[in-house]
């Protein structure tokens, strides 16, 4: 392959190209970006800046391909680049969280050998939750905003307050991979090296097909997502969770969750793995599962349930996710950044990765899983959970009463980043599905009470 030069010292862009399997050399551009658009459009501004960066590096290189990029964030009134200090970052993120914004990234590719220049732009719209000063300070305590346009990231902790995006995910990270791929393809760069990491992963890892007892279908997984690797990944993420959160020191609370969990597992469709049930000493109402059989339940949720039937419903739902391997399929679908981070994490056991890399990979995966599953996966986990709860001897209507209770609580209380309602959406639909699974007749409220309208605190 011909030499490729990245005219940017951006950490995010370097990671994206590295994880994509592209070999390149970083030669940071020395030009000063234009920050005022004047009569230019936002797209023209970032394309001009990207081209200036690429040309600056091209002056010192006789052969090869030079990639220049420039990203801005705008709310339609102001342009937000990288903040000059923390005070500017706080003000910037406060403004951006108040209304939708757009990410523009300009890309310039110069082929010195063929004397060709390609310039293009990608645009992505972002919707954020409105952030308080405390939330912004807590975020900056974990993530430095000074090297990020708009003062936030999407691939890390910033994902907790990004409601949704319209457009390319990788554009928000810092480099729209599909756009760049098509530009490089036009220059004759080997597409098998850069096809979103998919071919790289398959060639290194292979692919396996397994029969999923939950979905009753043959499903394909990357070789690194075999059952053994799934457990290894889950253990790595669980270690990171236990570093970030304190587990309960109440043995009775822990035993109650474990006892219910064991009864659910005894009747579930997946018994080739060991299950671990742990209680986090946190008052927030939440529960979540990790790959390979790791289930965490917050103390706040255990205290909120009225009885073991409601708690069993929650645990059975999480077991349903593990049985159907929803977390693995979600991480697998990410490809690029998170997928290869997890491959690094999986290799850590053999000493191929540092503790820092492992922690970053586990944190990225944990963040992604806390963003919640698709509507289809949530409803399937409820169907499975209802069956398991009933087979284990609990009253499965406990799942309905808990969801109804939770829905009422969240109508009156501001949403928290890691609350159950935030990480487990589609609650009205879920109540209806559980009723249908039990043969109950859905009433009028079940059909009109859909979650199409946003939570009042999210508007």
Q: Is 247 left (phi over 0), alpha (psi -120 to 50) or beta?
A: beta
What ranges in 20-84 are assigned the alpha helix state H? 42-58
Cα 162 from Cα 48, distance rounded (Å): 29
Q: What is the dihedral of CA 205, 206, 210, 214, to 10 degrees?
A: 50
- Among the options 9, 60, 70, 429, which is catalytic? 70
Alpha-carbon distances of 191 from 181, 221, 334, rounded to whole Å: 8, 23, 19
What ranges in 324-354 are assigned the alpha helix state H? 326-334, 336-347
Element (H, E) at 405: helix 397-412
Cα 36 from Cα 39, distance rounded (Å): 9
Residues in the chain: 459
Q: How far from each other are the two terminal CA atoms of the chain, in whole angstroms?
A: 49
Q: Which two tokens stand for residue 136?
A: 């912004």
Pairing relationship of beta strands 217-222 and 162-166 according to DSSP bridges: unpaired
Cα 12 from Cα 4, distance rounded (Å): 17
Q: Which two tokens stand for residue 419?
A: 């609350």
SS3 label, residue 242: helix
Element (H, E) at 367: helix 355-370
Sign of dihedral through CA atoms 151, 155, 160, 165? positive
Among 26, 338, 69, residue whose Cα is nearest residue 179: 69
Q: Is 445 a catalytic residue?
A: no
Among 206, 211, 251, 245, residue whose Cα is nearest residue 366: 245
Catalytic positions = 70
């Amino acid at each position: 392959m011909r030499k490729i030069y990245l005219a940017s010292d951006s950490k995010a862009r370097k990671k994206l190209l590295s994880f994509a399997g592209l070999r390149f050399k970083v030669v940071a551009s020395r030009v000063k970006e234009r920050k005022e658009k004047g009569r230019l459009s936002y797209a023209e501004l970032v394309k001009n800046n990207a081209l200036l960066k690429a040309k600056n590096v091209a002056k010192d290189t006789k052969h090869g391909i030079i990639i220049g990029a420039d990203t801005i964030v705008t709310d339609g009134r102001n342009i937000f680049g990288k903040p000059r200090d923390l005070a500017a970052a706080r003000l910037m993120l406060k403004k951006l969280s108040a209304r939708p914004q757009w990410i523009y990234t300009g890309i310039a590719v110069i082929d010195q050998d063929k004397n060709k220049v390609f310039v293009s732009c990608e645009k992505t719209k972002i919707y954020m939750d409105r952030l308080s000063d405390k939330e912004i300070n807590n975020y900056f305590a974990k993530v430095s905003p000074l090297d990020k346009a708009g003062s936030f990231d999407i691939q890390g902790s910033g994902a907790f307050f990004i409601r949704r995006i319209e457009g390319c995910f990788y554009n928000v990270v810092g480099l729209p991979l599909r756009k760049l791929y098509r530009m490089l393809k036009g220059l004759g760069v080997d597409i098998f090296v850069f096809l979103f990491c998919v071919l790289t992963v398959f060639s290194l890892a292979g692919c396996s097909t397994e029969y999923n007892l939950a979905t009753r279908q043959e499903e394909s997984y990357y070789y690194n997502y075999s059952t053994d690797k799934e457990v290894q990944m889950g253990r790595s993420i669980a270690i990171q969770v236990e570093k970030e959160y304190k587990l309960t020191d109440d043995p009775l609370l822990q035993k109650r969750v474990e006892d219910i969990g064991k009864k659910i597992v005894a009747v579930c469709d997946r018994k080739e793995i060991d299950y671990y049930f742990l209680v986090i000493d946190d008052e927030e109402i939440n529960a979540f599962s990790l790959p390979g059989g790791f289930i965490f339940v917050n103390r706040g949720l255990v205290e909120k349930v009225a009885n073991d039937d409601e708690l069993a419903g929650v645990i059975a739902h999480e077991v349903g996710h593990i049985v159907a391997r929803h977390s693995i399929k979600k991480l697998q679908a990410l490809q690029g950044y998170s997928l290869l981070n997890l491959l690094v994490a999986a290799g850590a056991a053999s000493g191929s990765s540092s503790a820092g890399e492992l922690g970053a990979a586990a944190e990225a995966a944990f963040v992604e899983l806390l963003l919640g599953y698709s509507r289809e996966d949530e409803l399937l986990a409820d169907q499975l959970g209802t069956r398991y709860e009933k087979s284990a001897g609990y009253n499965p209507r406990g799942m309905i009463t808990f969801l109804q209770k939770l829905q009422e609580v969240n109508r009156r209380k501001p949403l928290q980043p890691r609350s159950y309602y935030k990480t487990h959406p589609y609650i009205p639909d879920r109540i209806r599905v559980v009723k249908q699974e039990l043969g109950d007749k859905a009433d009028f409220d079940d059909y009109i009470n859909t979650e199409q309208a946003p939570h009042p605190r999210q508007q």
